[in-house]
């Protein structure tokens, strides 16, 4: 199973961005959006590519907050995948996210906070952050926007591997 992962869209996707996403996410079984989506219609845009689950991020409108949950648990082929944007400083983020799923522990946590791509097993939980679709740089970095990123989560049995993918920035510009 392959899952497309995206975070930090912040607004509707352009036709060029959707076209490029169709290429990157070709053949995925599902898409997980770790927020912020920016506009609830982004979820519908992604559903044109594959079944999509999304959570709201920290900078959402009231409309988005009324439509999307802060966290969700997605079950697939015996694995429980927690989906959350995440809040807080990088050094406290993983423990905070684990606490959010304490009542219903998960095998994988997909998140989007801090814009830093990460694929790491910590104890019994695999953490995956695809990086920022909008090109935001990780916390602590200053300057212009970086490259757009999305992710792919490869699941085979109970084995999980995440990969951050540079999004074709020349075609990802709004038009």
Contact 66, 85 (CB under 8 A): no
**Structural domain tally of the chain?**
1
Mean pLDDT (whole number) for 74-93? 90
Task: Examine residue 174 and state whether it is found in any structural domain, yes or no.
Answer: no
Task: Examine residue 175 and state whether it is found in any structural domain, yes or no.
Answer: no
Confidence grade of residue 143 (pLDDT, cut at 50, 70, 90): low
pTM above 0.75, yes or no: yes
Task: Examine residue 173 and state whether it is found in any structural domain, yes or no.
Answer: no
Look up the CATH number of the domain holding residue 106. 3.60.21.10
Task: Examine residue 39 and state whether it is found in any structural domain, yes or no.
Answer: yes
Characterize the bridge pairing of strands 108-110 and 79-84: parallel
Instruction: Report which of 104, 108, 70 is spatially closest to residue 87, judged by C-alpha positions.
Output: 70
Task: Examine residue 102 and state whether it is found in any structural domain, yes or no.
Answer: yes
pLDDT on residue 137: 64
Task: Examine residue 161 and state whether it is found in any structural domain, yes or no.
Answer: yes
Task: Examine residue 172 and state whether it is found in any structural domain, yes or no.
Answer: no
Provide the domain limits for residue 159: 2-166
Q: Which H or E run contains 65?
A: helix 62-67
Confidence grade of residue 59 (pLDDT, cut at 50, 70, 90): confident
pLDDT on residue 142: 63
Confidence grade of residue 172 (pLDDT, cut at 50, 70, 90): very low
**Residue 87: pLDDT above 90?**
no
Q: Which H or E run contains 71?
A: strand 71-76
pLDDT on residue 144: 66
Task: Examine residue 158 and state whether it is found in any structural domain, yes or no.
Answer: yes
Confidence grade of residue 76 (pLDDT, cut at 50, 70, 90): confident
């Amino acid at each position: 199973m392959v899952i497309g992962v995206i975070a930090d869209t912040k607004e509707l996707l352009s036709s060029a961005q959707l076209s490029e996403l169709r290429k990157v996410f070709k053949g995925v079984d599902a898409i997980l959006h770790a927020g912020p989506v920016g506009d609830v219609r982004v979820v519908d845009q992604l559903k044109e590519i594959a079944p999509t689950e999304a959570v709201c991020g920290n900078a959402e409108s009231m409309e988005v907050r009324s439509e999307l949950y802060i966290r969700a648990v997605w079950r697939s082929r015996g694995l429980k995948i927690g989906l959350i944007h995440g809040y807080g400083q990088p050094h406290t983020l993983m423990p905070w996210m684990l606490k959010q799923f304490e009542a219903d522990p998960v095998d994988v946590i997909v998140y989007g906070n801090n814009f830093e791509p990460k694929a790491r097993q910590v104890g019994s939980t695999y953490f995956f952050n695809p990086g920022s679709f909008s090109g935001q740089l990780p916390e602590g970095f200053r300057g212009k926007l970086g490259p757009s990123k999305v992710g792919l989560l490869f699941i085979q049995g109970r084995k999980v591997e995440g990969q951050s993918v540079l999004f074709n920035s020349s075609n990802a510009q709004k038009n």
